[in-house]
Structure 1
Amino acid sequence: MAAELSATPMLSDALVILGAAGLVIPIFARFRITPIIGFLMVGLAVGPYGLGRMVYEYPWLAHFTITDPEGLEPFAEFGIILLLFTIGLELSFNRLWSMRRLVFGLGALELLVISGLLAMVLTMVGQYWTGALALGLALALSSTALVLPISGTTTPVGRAALSMLLFEDIAIVPIIFLMGAMAPYANSDGVDDMMQTIWLGGLVIIAMLVIGRFALPRLFAQAARTKSPELFLSASLLVVIGASLATSAVGLSPIVGALVAGLLIAETEYNAEVEAITEPFKGLALGVFLITVGMGLDLATIWDNLWSILAAVVGVLVLKALVTGLLLRMMGARRSTATETGILMASPSETTLIVLTAATQALLIQPGTALFWQIVTAIGLTVTPLLATFGRLVARKVDPLPSQGGEGTSDEPRVIIIGFGRVGRLVADMLTVHGKPYIGIDSDADLIMAARRDGYNARFGNAARRDALDRLGLERAPAVVMTMDEPILAQNLTRKLRALRPDLPIIARARDTHHAALLYRSGATHAVPETVESSLQLSESVLVDLGVAVGPVIASIHQKRDELRGLIMEEGALDHKPQLRTRTLRPEG
């Protein structure tokens, strides 16, 4: 029976992972708890130290446990690669250059100071200095996979965390080479190999920058013209996997290639759509990674060494939080930002496990010591969401006043224009005249490229996707203008927008009065029929040419427009709130 169940381990593991995603995410979201904890708990439950212990006694449990933990590691690594890729998409070369002081100043200082202090403490408790240095470097790393999804990259905490995490990701390769160089039986070949990897990696990155600058816009433009989501997704995965393999081939970490690929795509108008279309894969792959971390928690071993493990966890968390917070204060950060970032960055990293493995293979630490610190790392990763909540609470206590600039986000409320053809451009021009910021979105790649060449603020994307609108700032938008000539899409979008933002002014272009009535029924604030407006403009022109004064003509046009709008709304049978009908886009003052 057990043999039959183990004949399809891949399907069994897929069932567990997909079931976890389908249950954990909605359940934890219902209670406003991050699903990170849920995935870690699933890994603990279904791993070899949980229900997996009882598979031989109860074979039917094979359907609910992970039978091949090692087989999940490539998927977990792919999740980290996609995470770094999306981080690159949120950045740009200009923004990265503007962060150089934080990345190579704060990031380097944080890693060196924390690893040095940890090494000193470990040496004092009896660890040989080479092993203490290896453990210090490993434990000084913080989790990119958990910290950035919690903090984001645009908040003050997110920017500070990002700068340190970027340096840590860059430093992983030299750290791994350092492990080999410190090995008891190491020779000078290790240094030569490191230098070779550095210059080969530099050549590969330069080649990626040059080729990607010219090739990627053309690749995604062709994919966008097909209007095929499958082809767009294929192109996105091709770029990120190809870039990761290129850096891996010369000895660099694959996440370096993924980050560079994201930076290159961030310079194109397709960055938002690429991020949206790869988001589900990143989320699922990260879920797999978190499950593998949870599977490494052996409750029996933890119980046998409970007090020493707790002391190690608390010691690492407190030391890292204090040092990181103090360094941020020295760099001029607010007390609240320094406090929250320090606590959030206190836990070890997923890459800590990689460095521990390298240190064990180099005979710098014993396997038992590596297992102890692997458990400490897994517990630290598990409590990261709790640290984030605790950090926010403490930050409010130490600095209750909101930030007054300098560290706030640069995002401002912008009118969203859906559809950026002739009508969309005209709306954008009028908003610009009156000083109202806007951003346009359209799924026609040629329209977007032409608009950006002409200086318009427009992005390629599919407005029917919720995440595409969220990235444009839907929650802060003062209004949405829909200009596309697609009646069914306009109605569906109007209903979706009204459900998301009941108070949002939605101004929609309509083909005729019947279409306008349908838009009002769907929740539009204003629906502007092309036929009615063209008739009113013709009437205005002929009356002025016949010698009627401009003032009475404009007044009569407005009166007729209001009458027609009332008739259209009655046809739509819409019970509109008065404040939504009267709210218009007028310049301030």
Structure 2
Amino acid sequence: MAFTSDSHAFSDSLVILGAAGLVIPAFARFRVNPVIGFILVGMLVGPAGLGRLVDDAPWLYYLTISDGESIKPFAELGIILLLFSIGLELSFKRLWTMRQLVFGLGAAELAISGLVIAFALFLMGQPWAGAVGLGLALALSSTALVLPMTGTVSPVGRTAFAMLLFEDLALVPIIFALGAMAPYAQEEGWHGIVDTLWKGGLTIVVMMVFGRLLLPRLFAQAARTKSPELFLAASLLVVILASIATTAVGLSPIVGALLAGLLIAETEYHTEVEVMTAPFKGLALGVFLITVGMSLDVQVIAANWVSLTTAVVGVIVAKTVITALLLRFKGERRGVAIETGLLMASPSETTLIVLTAAAQAKLIMPSTAAFWQIVTALGLTITPLLARVGRDVARRMEFKGMAVSVEDEGDGPDAPRAVVIGFGRVGSLVAQMLKVHNKALLAVDADIDAVAAARREGMPAMYGDIGRPGMLERLELHRASALILTMDEPVQVVRITAQVRKLYPDLAIVARARDTDHAAELYRAGATDAVPETLESSLQLSEAVLVDLGVAMGPVIASIHEKRDEFRKMIKDQGEMDREPRLRRTKLSEVEG
């Protein structure tokens, strides 16, 4: 059955769009990382999957990707847009403050991991030049997968980003170094590195100068047209031109994309650009993951599962241990070190680029490159699982180190104190007000970073997940003066309120509610007070309007308090009315029983 190239491209596009439309909502429904879904789709519909059956079942043509090479440019675009979005979240000032992390920690992680893996491969019989090439390739970690899972603000995300940024910057020197080590390379190999570096440096300087001068004017003109399409076109034009400029002088296109994001981040239009390009980044990144899945052949994996498993485990263990030890030496907490080490343990999408360069330089055999390409694809597939394991291990380790004795968190063994569950934006403010009025308190949160921040501020805080069995008993609420629930989890807040009310009928329970309906539900569950966010924001807005209109502050505050009490009484009465029929039904069933 013959198909034209145009029909091939059209069919492949339909499969990719269909995969994005099905994978993202389906895996989100089951709380599974879509990364795994896209890779599995690539395995299923690629040439090594259902694609091999097209000749026997022609109808499968419309459900498979027949030409893997045709979608690779879109996959590369996904990586470029990802680095562009990362640049939008940064600034030159922030990069300067991270210089020690990037060129200190990042350089140490890449160099030590690469040398350790290279030495192991050399001991197994790989020639030294090929071992160095493989070591550097496998030492790289996935920017495309790690940063969307961690961000760049948390302790884990900040350290991971520093190492990943150095790896992205080092990619081009690594490729040129491999060319210089080739059996046929002479002095021109190292001359090529120097030539690329000075041309690349000059290009970056020119882009920075002209970018600061031209980009604000470009986006100002696009904004004046009030055309979203023109604004999007201008954004994509900047990214593509920057990537072409760095590619033309021998640098990686992702360097140009990152620099374009940094330049736009310095303008007032960066938020609008980020919103405009986000859908394209997500779709293109999905295409990249599909190409990773297409490189996995189930039959080849089954025939070589022992050696492939050994290789994957060896790389992951080596990189995890090295990264974690470096972070511990730097002074990071054990949990952060372990979680970051596991996140950075898998090879990268750029590993595939370095493997290709090593094979072209004849440093490794094509069969060796193919083997490690499968190892890389398997490592990328399990990256979300490693992230989950790292997060769980970090929490357990931090729990042992941060879970304080409840008895020690008061003025004495029987001293009453308010227990604040959730130390986010709302909980931290409540704790501060309690401290201002010299009220004893204990803050509890399942986010170890929030607990660490609270303890640095001198707040008595402990790590704990209130949803886990036995956690309520550990809090010893029998000696608490009040329980304050500030989590932004409506169902869990209602459930905990009902549980605590049954155990402690006289305890004051104050809960954060999303709206009036949620507040009424909390009153039915037994809350002493439920504070709806929507009501409070409306009252604060009314107070600001009245004051700005010239009404005296005293009458405004009095009327606000009166209106608040009126709404609370109405919500509480509604909750009590809804609860009374249930209580009567319960008592009736007990009598009948």
> TM-score when scaled to structure 2?
0.72
User: Separation in 2 of the partners of 1:394 and 1:533?
Assistant: 52
Does 2:252 align with 1:253? yes
Q: 1:223 and 1:412, CA in 2 relative to 1: closer, same or farther beyond 3 A?
A: farther
Residue 65 of structure 1 corresponds to 64
CA shift, 1:306, in A, is 1.1
Q: 2:543, 2:557 within 8 Å by CA — same for their partners in 1?
A: no
Return the alpha-carbon distance in structure 2 between the equivalents of residues 80 and 402 of structure 1. Answer: 38
Equivalent in the alignment of 2:228: 229
User: What is the alpha-carbon distance in structure 2 between the residues aligned to residue 525 and residue 537 of structure 1?
Assistant: 15
Give the secondary structure class of the aligned counterpart of 1:184: coil
Unaligned runs of 5+ residues in structure 1 are 405-410, 415-474, 477-496, 509-522, 541-549, 570-574, 580-589
Check the 8 A contact 1:20/1:39 in 2, yes or no: yes
**One-letter amino acid of the counterpart of residue 172, structure 2:** V
Report matched runs for 1:392-431 at 5 Å. Answer: 392-400=391-399, 413=425
Q: Are positions 1:279 and 2:278 aligned together?
A: yes
Structure 1 SS opposite 2:2: helix
Match of 1:341 in 2: 340
**Contact 1:86–1:262, Cα closer than 8 Å, also in 2:** yes
For residue 262 of structure 1, what is the aligned residue in structure 2? 261
The aligned counterpart of 2:79 is 80
After superposition, the Cα gap between the structure-2 partners of 1:413 and 1:529, relative to the gap in structure 1 and judged at 3 Å, is closer
Q: Distance in 2 between matches of 1:308 and 1:383?
A: 17
Determine the structure 2 residue equivalent to 1:192: 191
Cα distance change, pair 559–192 in 1 and its aligned pair in 2 (3 A): closer
Q: Distance in 2 between matches of 1:88 and 1:212?
A: 14
- Paired position in structure 2 for 1:102: 101
The alignment status of 1:306 with 2:309, answered yes or no, reads: no
Alignment of 1:166-245 (within 5 A): 166-245=165-244
Equivalent position of 2:356 in the other structure = 357
Aligned residues: 458
Alignment of 1:508-547 (within 5 A): 528=542, 537=549
Deviation, structure 1 residue 229? 1.5
In structure 2, the CA distance between the partners of 1:499 and 1:83, relative to structure 1 (3 Å rule), is farther
Which residue does the alignment assign to 1:143? 142
Q: Give the counterpart letter for 2:43 in structure 1.
A: L
AA matched with 1:298:
D
- Residue 329 (1) aligns with residue 338 (2): no
Where do residues 104-119 of structure 1 align in structure 2 (5 Å cutoff)? 104-119=103-118
1:223 and 1:501 map into 2 onto residues whose CA distance is 44
After superposition, what is the alpha-carbon deviation per residue over 1:159-209, rounded to whole angstroms, capped at 9, x for unaligned? Answer: 010000000000000000011101111121121121111111111101111
Q: Is the 8 A contact 1:6 1:67 kept in 2?
A: no
Per-residue displacement from partner, 1:334-384 (whole Å, max 9, x unpaired)? 100000000110000001001010111100000111111000000000000
- TM-superposed deviation, 1:226: 2.7
Aligned-pair CA distance for 1:88:
0.7
Per mean C-alpha deviation after superposition, the further-off stretch among 271-280 and 283-292 is: 271-280
What does the per-residue CA deviation read over 1:514-553, in whole Å, with 9 as the maximum and x for residues that have no partner? xxxxxxxxx95677599x959x958x6xxxxxxxxx89xx
Name the counterpart of 2:494.
none
Q: Which amino acid aligns with 1:10?
A: A
Q: Which runs of 5 or more residues in structure 2 are unaligned?
A: 404-422, 427-486, 489-513, 520-530, 575-593
Q: Do the aligned partners of 2:102 and 2:165 also contact (CA within 8 Å) in 1?
A: yes
Q: Select between 384-393 and 230-239 the one with higher mean Cα deviation.
A: 230-239
**Does the 8 A contact of 2:515 with 2:535 survive in 1?**
no
Shift of 1:269: 2.0
Give SS of 1:348's match.
coil
Structure 1 position 278, deviation (Å): 0.6
Change (3 A) 1:578 1:126: farther
**1:231 to partner: Cα distance:** 1.6
Compared with structure 1, are the counterparts of its residues 529 and 400 closer, same or farther at alpha carbon in structure 2 (3 Å cutoff)?
closer
8 Å CA contact retained: 1:223, 1:232: yes
**Code of the aligned partner of 1:329:** R
Per-residue CA deviation, residues 434-491 of structure 1 (Å, 9 max, x unaligned), is xxxxxxxxxxxxxxxxxxxxxxxxxxxxxxxxxxxxxxxxx99xxxxxxxxxxxxxxx
What is the alpha-carbon distance in structure 2 between the residues aligned to residue 213 and residue 158 of structure 1?
A: 28
Q: Secondary structure at the match of 1:8?
A: helix
1:24 counterpart = 2:23: yes
- The 2-side partners of 1:529 and 1:102 are apart by 47
How far the C-alpha of 1:62 sits from its partner, in A, is 0.6
- Classify 1:558/1:259 alpha carbon distance in 2 versus 1 (closer, same or farther; 3 Å): closer
CA apart distance, 1:157: 0.5
Q: Distance in 1 between matches of 2:287 and 2:199?
A: 32
Aligned to 2:366: 367
Aligned residue for 1:471?
none
Counterpart residue identity of residue 72, structure 1: I
User: What residue identity is the alignment partner of 1:332?
Assistant: G
CA distance in 1, matches of 2:264, 2:326: 33
> Deviation of residue 563 (structure 1)?
9.9
- The alpha carbon displacement at 1:99 in A equals 0.6
1:6/1:62 contact within 8 Å kept: no
Partner Cα separation in structure 2 for residue 275 and residue 319 of structure 1:
36
Aligned mates of 1:500, 1:286 — CA distance in 2: 40
Question: Do the aligned partners of 1:5 and 1:63 also contact (CA within 8 Å) in 2?
Answer: no
Deviation at 1:220, TM superposition (A): 1.8
Partner of 2:468: none
- Distance (Å, rounded) in 2 between the aligned partners of 1:222 and 1:385: 42
Map 1:386-535 to 2 at 5 A.
386-400=385-399, 413=425, 505-506=533-534, 528=542
Name the CA distance, whole Å, in 1 between partners of 2:113 and 2:402. 28
Stretch deviating more after TM superposition (201-210 or 2-11): 2-11
Structure 1 residue 228 displacement after superposition: 2.0
CA shift for structure 1 position 227? 2.5
Query: Cα offset for 1:232?
Result: 1.5
Matched, 1:128 2:127: yes
Contact 2:516/2:571 (CA < 8 Å) preserved in 1? no
Code of the aligned partner of 1:394: V
Q: Which residue of 1 aligns with 2:382?
A: 383
C-alpha displacement of 1:243:
0.7
Instruction: Show the counterpart of 2:36.
Output: 37
Cα 1:577–1:242 change in 2 (3 A) is farther
Q: Which amino acid aligns with 2:111?
A: L
Contact 1:55–1:61 at 8 Å: present in 2 too?
yes
Contact 1:84–1:255 (8 Å) recurs in 2: yes
Q: Secondary structure at the match of 1:183?
A: coil
Q: CA deviation at 1:78?
A: 0.5
1:224 Cα deviation (Å)?
Answer: 2.3
Q: CA deviation at 1:66?
A: 0.4
SS of 1:399 mapped into structure 2: helix
User: CA 1:368–1:499 in 2, change beyond 3 Å: closer, same or farther?
Assistant: farther
SS at match of 1:11: helix
Aligned-partner Cα distance in 2 for 1:6–1:105: 49
Q: Following the alignment from structure 2 to structure 1, what is the Cα–Cα distance between the partners of residues 86 and 94?
A: 12
Say if 1:70 and 1:317 are closer, same or farther in 2 by CA, change over 3 A.
same
Amino acid at match of 1:197: T
Distance 1:501 1:242 in 2: 51
Alpha-carbon distance between aligned partners in 2 of 1:368 and 1:161, rounded to the nearest angstrom: 32
Q: Distance in 2 between matches of 1:263 and 1:71?
A: 30
Q: TM-score, normalised by structure 1?
A: 0.72
Distance 2:207 2:395 in 1: 44
**Separation (CA, whole Å) in 2 of partners of 1:370 and 1:266:** 39
Is the 8 Å Cα contact of residues 516 and 535 (structure 2) preserved in structure 1? no
The one-letter code sitting in structure 2 at the alignment partner of 1:223 is: A
The 1:192/1:537 distance shift into structure 2, 3 A limit, reads: closer
Cα deviation, 1:313-354, whole Å, max 9, x if unaligned, reads 100000010001001111111100000000110000001001
Percentage of pairs with the same residue? 60
Structure 2 residue identity aligned to 1:66: I
Paired with 1:151 and 1:66, the residues of 2 have a C-alpha distance of 31
